[in-house]
Chains A and B, each alone.
Chain A
Amino acid sequence: MENVLRFARDLTSEHLEDVLGGGRWPTEPLGTPMALDSVREAVASVGEDITGSGIDRRLVAPLHEALPMTHREAADPRVWQWLCVAEFPEVVWRRWHGEVPPPESLGEALKAQMYPRFLCRASLNGISRNALARLWWTAEQLGDYGLAQRALGNQDMFQNVFERFFGIYPAAARACLDRFEGRSEAEIRLAAKWLQQRASTTVLEGLEEREVAAILDEAIGSAA
């Protein structure tokens, strides 16, 4: 049985094209054995007719279920680099490039904005821009696949929550998703900025979801 692996060292941007083209990069096993077939089934469940953020919404639950990782394992960028580059580059290309490029035009298709989709870093942006890490962590932190699908369905909302430090506090992320539903891009940005500012003088971790939501209501109310 094949198991999920990780790269033995960080894959760098200098070597990405080579490894995507079939070049070798050393790998090592994870502490928790996980069947690769389960992840293959999850990825295969995304029909060819599904495009854009629809791929995220379709994939988030089966991918999360197929990868019962510890947080320590999932925070390690090398797992996501291996999954995105060595095992499932097609789904990354489909989601973020629209199609899988033929091998002879790989270099041309691999623009700067594609690098973070394949690579991963142990940072807010690094996780939120990796094609698969963002799905797993959104599901894990929210603990609710429906909510995760909603978050992943609106890229602007997703960035305003999960590319900010408050977004890794689950109560804050959930409060944002609740209050941002149906709001305009401008309102979401304003409220996220407000919460960010408030967080600099507040121990956010001392607040419950409804108390964070009240802070967001102040921002949304003041803009109305």
Chain B
Amino acid sequence: MSRVEFFPYPVGRHALLLTYEVQSDGLELGDGRRILATALPETGSVKVALTVSVQPGTLERVLPPAELENPPVAVVAAVRSVTSRQRQAVRLHSADGVWKGLLDIPKQDLYREISIEPVLLRTAPGTDDAYADHLAAALAFRDRTTIEVDETPVRTGGFLEVKFDDFRESASPKRSAEPGLLYVLDTDRETPVLWLNEGVDELKAVMMATGPRGYNLRVRDAMFDTIVSQVWTSLLSLAVTNLALLIQEQREAEDDSDPLEALAADWQQRVISFWAPHLFAGTRAEALDDVIAAASDRRLLADLLDRVSVAVQKWAGTAKAFNGLIRMRDREGV
């Protein structure tokens, strides 16, 4: 459900046009609605001149006719960030038909990212209940612009252990019940384990082969091609499914926390962080936002899982996939 559907009164979605001009050395415009402040010195300030124009016809839509002559409205830039623990409004001033103001926040007050959302709000309560009538009611807005202060960290660390076991003699009922399988992925642990079947002739020698050339290496690479798709798909699907369930739980508990941060298993955070840019366009931070948005909406979840399948297939069988598994095994993170 989009945000606009939550409003029990008329609002102007996309009815504001925000333009901005960066005014500090070290600030750059990124892709989409993104400003990069990662190069800003630690003692510097994020200074951005903001100009907001209100689309014609907006006031007629969101205010009762009796208020149009002297509209009780103002435009603010709502500046918000969970990671920086910031919520403030920058008041903009009306001049020449547009609203203007300056965002000026020291970098020392910021951590990771903040968002700016231009909002047209009520400056006085109203009396017509067919329209928004409460003080500071949001009447019109526009998608948020994000200021990235620190690069979203790639979650490092291992998220898979690779172990050998002879399935015929395995102490694990799960593996001994399937002595002919090449491998079993065990995700029922703090860190998942990929069990390779030592009971399959030559498998261990092939999988442990090193060096740039040779028959065993070609067999090994082919073997990894076979395994990586399934392993990645299983890990990523499990992580995404857990994320979707967690978002649902948070919604019921009205918990605003970042669901990715709240995922109980660290390896799931890392898997999603690593794969997000393969699933959606943009920076890692933007892609992570898209993953969370898709996992939040039952209608988009199926598409997200389709993307998982496509991304894994595109990526598996390449050198990167193989190297990724090795790095996973070696706990180097990816």
- Contact indicator A203/B85 (Cβ below 8 Å): no
Comparing B49-57, B174-182, B216-224, B253-261, the segment that makes contact with chain A is: B253-261
> Are A72 and B109 interface neighbours, CB within 8 A?
yes
Q: B136 and A206: CB pair below 8 A?
A: yes
Q: Are B109 and A205 in contact (CB under 8 A)?
A: no
Q: Roughly how many angstroms separate A193 CA and B6 CA in the complex, as a whole number?
A: 16
Chain A residues numbered 6-46 whose CB sits less than 8 Å from any CB in chain B: 9-10, 12-14, 31
- A169–B6 alpha-carbon span in the complex (Å): 22
Point out the residues of chain B lying under 8 angstroms from A196, CB to CB.
Answer: 254
What are the residues of chain A within 8 A of B156 when measuring CB–CB?
Answer: 9
Interface presence of A207 (CB below 8 A): yes
A127: chain B residues within 8 A (beta carbon):
85
Please state if B84 and A75 are interface contacts (CB–CB under 8 Å): yes
Interface pick from A90-98, A117-125, A175-183: A117-125
Q: Which residues of A contact B153 (CB under 8 A)?
A: 10
A76, A123, A124, A203: the one within 8 Å of B121 (CB): A203
Contacting B87 at CB < 8 Å: which of A75, A168, A201?
Answer: A168
B137 lies within 8 A of chain A by Cβ:
yes
Q: Which of A70, A71, A121, A125 contacts B85 (CB 8 A)?
A: A71
Contact of A121 among B78, B121, B261 (CB under 8 A): B261
B13 at the interface (CB under 8 A from A): no
Asked whether any CB of chain B lies closer than 8 Å to the CB of A204, the reply is yes
Query: Which residues of chain A have C-beta atoms less than 8 A from B157's C-beta?
Result: 12, 14
Please state if B261 and A205 are interface contacts (CB–CB under 8 Å).
Answer: no
Interface residues of B in 232-274 (CB under 8 A from A): 254-258, 261-262, 264, 266
Of A72, A122, A198, A203, chain B has the most CB atoms within 10 Å of the CB of A203
Query: Which partner residue on chain B sits nearest A169 by CB separation?
Result: B87
Q: Which of A191-213 contact B (CB under 8 A)?
A: 193, 196, 198, 200-207, 211
Contact of A163 among B8, B86, B132, B255 (CB under 8 A): B255
CB-CB under 8 A from A13, the residues of chain B are 190, 266
Q: How far is the CA of A27 from the CA of B76 in the complex (A)?
A: 41
B266 and A205 contact, CB distance less than 8 A: no
Cα separation A193 to B255 with both chains bound (whole Å):
11
A89 at the interface (CB under 8 A from B): no
List residues of chain A with CB within 8 A of the CB of B254.
164, 193, 196
A10 to chain B, nearest CB (A): 8
Interface residue from B109, B138, B191, B257 paired with A125 (Cβ < 8 Å)? B257
A137 at interface by CB-CB < 8 Å: yes
Instruction: Say whether A203 contacts B136, CB under 8 Å.
Output: yes
With A31-B42, A71-B111, A206-B76 as given contacts, are A122 and B82 in contact (CB-CB < 8 Å)? yes
Given known A-B contacts A72-B108, A72-B110, A165 and B136 have beta carbons under 8 A apart: no
Most buried by A among B74, B76, B82, B107: B82
| Set of chain A residues within 8 Å of B138, measured between Cβ atoms | 201-203
**Contact indicator A125/B111 (Cβ below 8 Å):** no
Q: How far is the CA of A173 from the CA of B11 in the complex (A)?
A: 28
A81-127 with Cβ < 8 A to chain B: 112, 121-127
B86 touches A168 (CB 8 A): yes
- For the complex, what is the distance from the CA of A31 to the CA of B83, rounded to whole Å? 18
CB contact under 8 A between A165 and B88, given known A122-B258, A125-B255: no
* CB of A141 within 8 Å of the partner chain: yes
B42:A203 contact, CB within 8 angstroms: no
Interface bits A49-61 vs B (CB < 8 Å: 1, else 0): 0000000000000
Given the complex, which residues of A lie within 8 Å of B258, measured CB to CB? 121-123
Q: Which residues of A contact B257 (CB under 8 A)?
A: 123-126, 163
Q: In angstroms, how far is the closest chain B Cβ from the Cβ of A115? A: 9
Q: Which residue of B lies closest to A69 (CB)?
A: B108
A residues near B205, Cβ cutoff 8 Å: none
Q: Which residues of B contact A125 (CB under 8 A)?
A: 255, 257, 261-262
Cα distance, A207 to B134, chains bound together (Å)? 11
**A164–B256 alpha-carbon span in the complex (Å):** 6
On chain A, the residues within 8 Å of B86 by CB distance are 71, 168
- Does any Cβ of A come within 8 Å of B231's Cβ? no
B6 engages A205 (CB within 8 Å): no
Interface residue? B196 (CB, 8 A): no
Q: Please, what's the 1-or-0 string for B106-138, where 1 marks a CB less than 8 Å from any CB in chain A? A: 011111100000010100000000001011111
User: Do A123 and B261 touch across chains, with their CB atoms under 8 A apart?
Assistant: yes
Alpha-carbon distance between A114 and B273 when the two chains are bound, in angstroms:
25
Docked pose: A192 CA to B10 CA in angstroms: 26
List residues of B whose CB falls within 8 A of some A CB: 6-9, 42, 74, 76, 78-80, 82-89, 107-112, 119, 121, 132, 134-138, 153, 155-158, 190-191, 254-258, 261-262, 264, 266
Beyond the given A124-B256, A205-B76, could you list 15 further A-B residue pairs with CB under 8 A, ordered by the A residue number? A75-B84, A121-B261, A123-B82, A123-B83, A124-B82, A126-B261, A137-B85, A193-B254, A201-B8, A201-B132, A202-B134, A202-B136, A203-B89, A206-B135, A207-B136
**Considering the complex of A and B, which 10 residue pairs feature the smallest CB-CB distances, nearest first?**
A75-B111, A205-B89, A165-B256, A206-B136, A123-B261, A169-B87, A70-B108, A121-B261, A123-B257, A122-B83
- Can you identify 6 A-B contacts, CB atoms within 8 angstroms? A72-B108, A121-B258, A123-B83, A203-B76, A203-B119, A203-B138
